[in-house]
Amino acid sequence: MAVIEVRDLVYTYPGVSKPSIDGVSLTVEKGEFVLITGPSGCGKTSLCRTFNGLIPHFYQGELKGQILVAGEDVTGRQTFDMAKRVGLVFQNPENQLFALSVEKDVAFGLENLGMSRDEMRKRVDWALNLVGIYDLRERAPHEVSGGQQQRVAIASVLAMQPEIIVLDEPTSFLDPLSAERIFEVIYKLNQEQGITVILVEHRLDLTAKYANHLIVMDKGKICLEGNPHDILCNEDVGNIGVGIPKATLLHKQLKMKGFPVNPKTPLCSDELAAQLLEALSK
């Protein structure tokens, strides 16, 4: 079942002549883990902003085409209405956080849903523990580090338990191990609870292994789309300027040199190591 359908979308920010999204059609099935990548300025963030109606309701501008979320046209719904279905973690956490304490920030969305105090307490603690910042709950969001702010932003979206989570480079300020832990948490929610995940990332070495649907954008358009195993061995990926995981790159080079390795494109070090062990210990 499609949870998101985008048809012939063209979007231009106010006061700008060139469209940021230039003819995008896209279907996201329920429970998919979608990874969107592409050069900076290619329209990834703008596309994310359409999923919960921030475009066009907040950003205004000119929008043509259709965005359907759970069968409903986003342009006909209010952003606060969409927030129950679609949680968006912004690229810059500072644009998202405003409360005087971390836990108040995480509780804010729930308060607006009119949730009971007990249920709110449970959800907030659950979300804080999930991303590992329970200890920070009484700190001011603007005093904690960039990486910790990102975790607060993720927790506040997870607490809402939306059907669809959209994350725009959500771990860019986090150290690699913390980033990996966050991705694992999100992957687990995707696998166990069937939450649809849409993740924007440049660092495919960290994230390609989680995705079953990879979208490569360039200049406001989708130029490649499909299973990451198929897409990442495509010659065009490198030309667009996508950073191919090093394991995938090494596999490609070895294949070209006639090294007897399994032809399936690996997405992470575990997959490549297994292939190489097999090739070398025959």
Partner 1 sequence: MGQNGAGKTSLIKHFNGLLKPSSGIVRVDDIETTKTSVATLAKKVGFVFQNPDNQLFSETVEDEIAFALKNFGFDKETIDKRVTWALEFLSLSQYRKTSPFLLSGGERKRVALASVLAWNPETLVLDEPTIGQDHEQKEKLRQFIIQLQNEKKTVVMVTHDVEFVAECNPRVILMREGKIIADGPSKSILTSPKLLEECSIVLPQITQVFTKLAPIGLPDNIIDVDEAETALIAKAKENRYY
Binding residues (CB under 8 A) for partner 1: these are 13, 15-16, 38-41, 45, 91-92, 94, 145-148, 169, 172-180, 202-203, 205, 241-247, 249-250, 253-254, 257-260, 268-270, 272-273, 276-277, 279-282
Give the nearer residue to partner 1 in terms of CB position, either 100 or 280.
280
Nearest-approach distance from CB 224 to partner 1, in angstroms: 14
Tokens for 163, please give them.
Answer: 């059907």
CB nearer partner 1, residue 31 or residue 147: 147
Question: Which of 77, 252 has the CB closer to partner 1?
Answer: 252
DSSP summary character for residue 202? S
Residue 21 or 160 with smaller CB distance to partner 1:
21
Helical spans, DSSP H, in the chain = 44-51, 54-57, 79-82, 102-112, 117-130, 146-158, 176-193, 204-207, 228-231, 235-240, 246-256, 269-280
The SS3 call for residue 136 is helix
The nearer residue to partner 1, 100 or 277, going by C-beta atoms, is 277
Is there a contact between 152 and 136 (Cβ–Cβ < 8 Å)? yes
Q: Residues 262, 278: contact at Cβ < 8 Å? A: yes
- Minimum distance, C-beta of residue 246 to partner 1, in the bound complex (Å): 4
Q: Are 22 and 43 in contact (CB under 8 A)?
A: yes
Q: How far apart are CA 238 and CA 240, in angstroms?
A: 5
SS3 percent helix, strand, coil of the chain, rounded to 5, is 45, 20, 35
For the chain, the farthest-separated pair of C-alpha atoms sits apart, in whole angstroms, at: 64
Question: Minimal distance in Å, beta carbon 26 to partner 1?
Answer: 19
Closest approach of partner 1 to the CB of residue 68, in Å = 25
By beta-carbon proximity to partner 1, the closer residue of 49 and 85 is: 49
92's CB contacts (< 8 A; 6+ apart) are none
Least distance CB 29 / partner 1 (angstroms): 27
Q: Write down the least CB distance from residue 135 to partner 1, Å.
A: 12
